[in-house]
Amino acid sequence: MNPLPTSCGCACSAGPKLIFSCSGAADVGELADQAARKLTRDGKGKMFCLAGIGGRVSGIMKSTEAAASILAIDGCALDCTKKSLEEAGFTRINHLRLTDLGFEKGNTEVNSDSIGQVVDKAKIYLS
């Protein structure tokens, strides 16, 4: 009898693709949030709790550490989402800033067209 297995299986799987978004009071924050929710509904990744990162909630921190990729969607140049993740020690962050896409803080309509534009751009970081 051979004590070594002839095939090797792994019980682990690749970590999830996590999406963190701004959900600030400005229209671009709402747009970032709605795009993250749509990406999740479309199965492109999983929206995750940025407040849990700020609060250093152990389960959320561990899940984020195990992520295959992290996407931070910020509404404006304050980059609150990205900075929150960095403050918690995460460095492998794909970053999307909506004002870099031409959306203006205080002058952006949140509708299916604008959400679709953000989702299309975000998919590049989640493929």
pLDDT digits (tens, 9 = 90+) for 20-45: 999 989 999 999 999 999 999 999 99
Report in angstroms the alpha-carbon separations of 104 from 15, 56, 86, 95, 107: 34, 31, 25, 18, 5
Query: Which range of residues forms the domain containing residue 109?
Result: 17-126
Number of domains the chain contains: 1
Q: Is residue 3 part of a domain?
A: no
CATH number for the domain that contains residue 64:
3.40.50
Residues 33-88: pLDDT tens digits?
A: 999 999 999 999 999 999 999 999 999 999 999 999 999 999 999 999 999 999 99
What pTM was computed for the model? 0.87
Flag whether 8 is in a domain: no
Model confidence at 127, pLDDT cuts 50, 70, 90, reads confident
